[in-house]
Each structure stands twice: as C-alpha cells, then as structure tokens.
Amino acid sequence: MNESLFPAPAVALAQADVPVWEAVRFTAEGLVPAIAQQHDTGEVLMMAWMTRETLAETLTTGQACYWSRSRGKPWRKGETSGQRQRVLDVRLDCDGDTLLLLVDQDGAACHTGRRTCFYRAADASGTLATLTEPLVDPEVLYGPGGGHP
C-alpha cells in the first residue's frame, strides 16, 4: 500500500552505480540538510540536518534520526515527545547536497507543538504573520523548558 502523493515508480528507470553514501555531498562539518514532507498531504513539515551515521540509521530503522547541532548528538525524532516520523522514502537532489524525506508524522513535527515548523508567512512588505496555533502545548510534549533540538 502506497498512499503517497509522490510514490516511487514501480520500476525505477535506472540504478545508479553509487550508493547514497557516496552521492551525498556533506558539508565540511559532515552534515546534509534533510527536508521532511508528509507523504500523503504534501505538507512540508521541517528541515533539519543529518550526518552519514544518522542517515544510515534512518534508512535502516525507517524512523527519522537527525543530528542535533546544538546538542552535538543524534536526535531521534519523537524519542522524547512521542511525535515520531516514519520514513517512507528518501530522495536525493541533483547535486547531492539536499535530502527529501517522505514521512508519516505523528502529531506535531514542530517543537512549538504545531504540525509544521513553517507557520509564519511574510507579505510583500516583509511583515510576518503567524498562520496557525499549536496543536498541543509543547510543555506537555517536552516538559517545562520545551524541546528544541
């Protein structure tokens, strides 16, 4: 069963010779940005960073594992909050420097308790407006002090 808006074709057109490890162009710090998109609604939920090791863990386990730059350690999405991300597909862009994860997100992807991190919009003058309120109080998910990685 694949209810993704963006399913992989049943038969891939070609197999590249290189595995994803060799095709990804990590930064000097060993990181690559990863965009998480809800597979069936198309909503872009968040962007975070992965290392070679957390990408490998993500592919192996099927659960999103990022690299927390502030904590300097792997960040298993939902480990504290319960708001897990099941990863259905991992895409790589043309020049190998960005990943796109098609995911199934439990509840809120954002540490503010909102579904998506992209909840502010700028108008033509640059004025920011907040588009959505939290689904859940972040202190319920993370305890006092919140849960930012």
Which positions from 76 through 135 interact with a second copy, judged by CB under 8 A? 89-95, 98, 100, 110-112, 114, 117-133
Strand-pair category, 44-50 with 65-68: unpaired
In the 8-state DSSP scheme, what is residue 122? E
CB of 19 to a second copy, least distance (A): 4
- CB-based contact 102:37 (threshold 8 Å): yes
- The alpha carbon of residue 70 and the mean position of all alpha carbons in its chain are separated, in whole angstroms, by 17
CB of 61 to a second copy, least distance (A): 9
Is 28 a binding residue for a second copy by CB under 8 A? The answer is no
Which CA distances in Å does 40 have to 5, 57, 88, 137? 5, 23, 11, 25
Count residues contacting a second copy (CB under 8 A)? 58
Compare residues 73 and 132 and give the one whose CB is closer to a second copy: 132
Is 9 a binding residue for a second copy by CB under 8 A? The answer is yes
- CB-based contact 49:55 (threshold 8 Å): no
Is 147 a binding residue for a second copy by CB under 8 A? The answer is no
Compare residues 47 and 135 and give the one whose CB is closer to a second copy: 47
- 140 HSE (CA, 13 A, CB side): 10
Please tell me whether 106 is known to bind a ligand: no
Interface ranges with a second copy (CB under 8 A): 5-6, 8-9, 12-16, 18-21, 23, 33, 35, 37, 41-44, 46-47, 56, 59-60, 62, 89-95, 98, 100, 110-112, 114, 117-133, 148
